Structures are given as C-alpha cells and as structure tokens.
Amino acid sequence: MLIGMTYDLRDRYLALGLDEEETAEFDSEETVAAIESGLRRLGHETERIGNLDDLVRALAGGRRWGMVFNIAEGLYGFGREAQVPALLDGYGIPYTFSDPLVLSLTLHKGMTKRVLRDLGVPTPDFAMVGAEADLKSIALEYPLFAKPVAEGTGKGISALSRIENPAELRSVCLNLIAAFDQPVLVERFLPGREFTVGILGTGDAARVLGVMEVILGGEAEADAYSYENKQKWEERVSYRLAADATALQAGETALRAWRGLGCRDAGRIDLRADALGRPHFIEINPLAGLHPGHSDLPILCRLAGMDYGDLLSGIMDSAAERIPESASAACCTVVPEVRTAQGGAF
C-alpha cells in the first residue's frame, strides 16, 4: 500500500523564526525517518507529504494514498491537530490515529475533563481561568496546579505550577495567559505517584500496553513532569513499568477514558494518584510522540518488550480496520486534475 506521511517538521518552523518552545511538539527528521523506515519494513511504499499546506497542494494536484500516517500537530487554534484529519475525511482518505472530533476535544484539557467527569472517570476538580475576573469564582482547596489549557510536551508547566495561595494563583494564571494566549486550567493538586499509560487499538480491541511510572530525580523540578524535566529527561527522570494494584487501577482508568472519548489506534494517557493512592485522569495524548529514542510511548513499549516496528505494525493494523473494501481498489492512484470553467484546476 502507498502510505502518505503528514507531519510538522520542527526544523522547517525553526527556519521560519519560531523558537524552541513554540516548536517543541513538532517532529524531527529522525522521527519522520524512523516511521518511514518502519513502514517500508512492513512492506509499504511511502510518500512524504509534509504539513497541512503541503497536503492541500498535493490533494489539489490529484495525489491520493491508500492510507495517510498522520502525526501533524498543526500550528493555530484549538482545532489545530484536527485540521489534517478533517481534510483527509473530506477526500475519503483513511488515516492513522483519532478523528477531528476527538483531536479537537482532547487538545482542550478542560473540555476533555468535563466529558470524562460525565462518564464517571475520576479526574481532579478544576476550573478554567480566561481572565483575571475568573479568579474570584475559584473555590478549590489549595494546593492547586495550573497549566495552559491546550498545550502539550509540558509547555507552560514548571516548578511554579504548584500553587499554595491566592497570590500565587493570580500571578501564575496571568503570566500563563499572557505567554500562551489561552485560558489556564487550574486543578486540585494531586500529591501521589504519576503514571503514563500506553494504549494500542480502537474501541473494544483497545488494550493497555503498559503502565509506566514517571519518577523525578533530585535534579528535577519538583511536583511536575514539566517542560524542563521533559527536555532534560536523561538527567532528571527515570521510568519503570509498574504492575502493583495502583498501577493496574491506573491502566483500567486509562482504558475507560480511551474508549469513552473514542480514541483510535495508539496513544498515551497521563494519570496521577491522590493522597489516598487513587489514580486520576490528568490528560490524554491521542497523537503521542513517536521519536524512537525519547518519546514516552516508544520508551514505554521498550520497557514492555515491544520494539518500535511492532508498535508501528499495531497502529497500522488498527487503522486498516477502517479501510472499506471498495476503497482498496481505488487507492494509491493519481487522480486527474478537474478543470474549472475558467480553465484552472481545483
């Protein structure tokens, strides 16, 4: 099968003038090459497409693929991760990972928690702060934890994220609103163990790959798997698979959240335990990083005895379930240009 690949190459945005933090969620050439190599080892042909703009041009030029392996994060708005899947849906082209509805919802951590709370999935009480006036209505018990409502890779999370009093709350929230131009999610701080759960598959076929405990070292910023801790993970963070009762409960909670939200193919869910050791949903990444060396999901897979190629194979098998038989004969072709009445091409 011819597999198109959509992604946001970090070096491309750095060359345009964006800084290191702005591009932190984007992928390196090493990640794209690793996925491409893995797909070829599975017997597929590959074609690098690139970002949303590249995809628009390719589709307008008549390019089609049997499947698109999509890891494009997008650049603007709460729907940025959904833009490539929405476009592919419009052209009837199958793709890996979750659909536009799920990717738009889950990028917004507050809206995601509202849905999961309705489903009975445990998650810490929270509020959203979009302006200084919103601080007056917060009635949560301290300590609290604050972060941007729609960022990944720990962006906006630091040693200041744990908040002990109203003065800190005001300062941290206003600084985050100014820095990230979006509301701030304020949650009750959970003091217990932190886990990330890897999940492979869709719906009833989804399964937990492993429960990985995130252990901060002495050099790490305390109380948070922060942006700086993630950037310097080799010196500050250690990971281990956990299989005790709390970890198993974390895995069950993560799977409930994954299925309840309708996530597909593979991803990660982060949880943290409260003072009584009960794991709570923190956030979800249905478009998880796939750098073979330092992304959390591949690290978890290595610890669980699954190599990178097997992870890619599992993702493709799950996504392939959505390819209708009628589409298989028409895939991998170049569609002739459709000419407009004025002679231009769509």
pLDDT band at 297; cut points 50, 70, 90: very high
pTM: 0.90
Burial class of residue 20 (count of CB atoms within 10 Å of its CB; 0-12, 13-18, 19+):
exposed
- B/e letters for 333-345, b = 16+ CB within 10 Å, e = fewer, are eeeeeeeeeeeee
Mean pLDDT of the chain: 92
Dist CA 136 CA 121 (whole Å): 27
Which SS3 state, helix, strand or coil, does residue 185 take? strand
pLDDT band at 234 (very low <50, low <70, confident <90, very high): confident
Instruction: Give the DSSP H/E element, type plus range, for residue 270.
Output: strand 266-273
What is the DSSP pairing of strand 126-129 with strand 144-148? unpaired
Question: Do 195 and 272 meet the contact criterion of CB atoms below 8 Å apart?
Answer: yes
Q: Residue 335 pLDDT more than 60?
A: no
85/52 Cα distance (integer angstroms): 10
Q: What is the pLDDT of residues 262-277, one digit of tens each?
A: 999 999 999 999 999 9
Provide the pLDDT for residue 338.
38
pLDDT of 200 above 90: yes
Quick: pLDDT tens for 74-96.
Answer: 999 999 999 999 999 999 999 99
pLDDT at site 342: 40
State pLDDT tens for residues 116-166: 999 999 999 999 999 999 999 999 999 999 999 999 888 899 889 999 999
- The pLDDT confidence band at residue 326, using thresholds 50, 70 and 90, is low
Instruction: Compute the Cα dihedral for 298, 79, 203, 34 and give only its sign.
Output: negative
The whole-angstrom distance between residue 317's C-alpha and the CA centroid of its chain comes to: 20
Is 20 in a helix, a strand, or coil? coil
pLDDT in tens, 274-293: 999 999 999 999 999 999 99
Q: Which of 42-46, 130-134, 320-324 has the lowest mean pLDDT?
A: 320-324
Preceding amide of 324 cis, omega within 30: no
Q: If we measure between CA atoms, which residue out of 120, 149, 116, 72 comes closest to residue 262?
A: 116
CB atoms under 10 Å from CB of 119, counted, come to 13
Locate 104 and state its tokens. Answer: 């738009």
